[in-house]
Copies of this chain bind each other. A is one copy, B any other.
Amino acid sequence: MTFSPLFWPIHLKSKTIYILDETQLPYRVSYIKVKDYQGACKAIKEMKTRAVGQVLLVFYTFLLVLEQNRKSKSLDKILQRVAKAINASRPTLPFKVLTDMVLGWQVQGAPLEKCILGFLEKLKNYRIAQAQEAASLVKNGDVILTHCNISGLMPLIGQFCREQKKDISFYVTETRPYLQGARLSSWELNQQNFSVTIITDNMVAQVMSEGKIDKVIVGADNLAQNGDIANKIGTYQIAILAQHFKVPFYVLCPPRSNAKSGSEIKIEIRPEKELLNFQGRCIAPKGVKAYYPAFDVTPKELITGHIHLGRE
């Protein structure tokens, strides 16, 4: 297996966290260096990293703080402060599940560093297995539509398909306003020589009506107890369109959050300037507003299959 840099975009070396700067892709593969938890939270807020990168960053931040405060008597307090700052960084993502896990290990007196490293190793293996399971659903000749970016899982699915002699290709929605599809998904798939075609977000019905799409596979940022998911804005309408055109719609899920259903997931509203500016230039006249919900909730009824992380 060849891993996309997006599969594991965070590294810790010599008391420094290296964060793959996803805002620079596909132009440059560069890493931001962070030396404290405040820097990590800032990178999350500014979407320098996203999705799995944010999850990894939570754990690497705790590892960094542990290294820095190995002998501190107030380690408990420090860890709580770090957890609080992380939880406050972006509302839709269930960071609390992760930070509670770490604080729980600490309360139980478990060896924290070992617990975290063990968790990360398990996460890696679970993600590979998840890609393998998704690949088993794909048929030879399938064209897969994906939205946003699933942190290196899509090229892995492609590689498993290749191993199984299944020839597949991809359509990617550009995913405005942040262009994760055009910048990240198309890049990592193209790096591994898969056929990738970008469409704008308003072309989904057209390409489905032309019979160009066999399956939709997307990720999720939040999986509620009842099976509803929250994912990047635009996922919901692709699910409705997939149902309309009878295209199967699969979701690669994170662990379940505490939300009972999608209605309990708080949707993050991001600054309008992020929508009104495109590559540094304002695209709209002064005085015009914008509305930027960063995520939407897809109800479980629209999901053909959940592909879970680890055995549920």
Contact = CB atoms under 8 A, between A and B. Distances in A.
A200 B237 CA distance: 12
A179 interface: yes
A183 B283 contact: yes
Interface in A102-147: 147
Contacts of A237: 202, 204-206, 237, 241
Contacts of A207: 291, 293
A98 interface: no
B186 A285 contact: yes
B26 A198 contact: no
Contacts of A284: 26, 174, 182-183, 186-187, 198
A8 interface: no
Interface string A182-221: 1100110011000111111111111101000000000000
A244 B234 CA distance: 15
Interface in A262-312: 267, 275-276, 278-279, 281, 283-285, 287-293, 296
A198 B279 contact: no
A174 B291 contact: no
A175 interface: yes
A283 B240 contact: no
Contact of A199 (B196, B238, B240, B290): B290
Contacts of A48: none
A230 to B, nearest CB: 11
A93 interface: no
Nearest to A178: B200
A197 B289 contact: yes
A236 B204 CA distance: 9
Contacts of A147: 202
A91 interface: no
A253 interface: no
Contact of A203 (B26, B244, B293): B293
A300 to B, nearest CB: 15
A198 B288 contact: yes
A210 B93 CA distance: 20
Contacts of A233: 200, 202-203, 206
A287 B179 CA distance: 17
Pairs of residues from A and B, 4 with the lowest C-beta to C-beta distance, nearest first: A202-B234, A205-B237, A201-B202, A26-B285
Given A204-B237, A240-B244, 10 more contacts: A26-B285, A186-B288, A190-B287, A190-B288, A198-B284, A202-B234, A203-B293, A206-B236, A206-B237, A278-B279
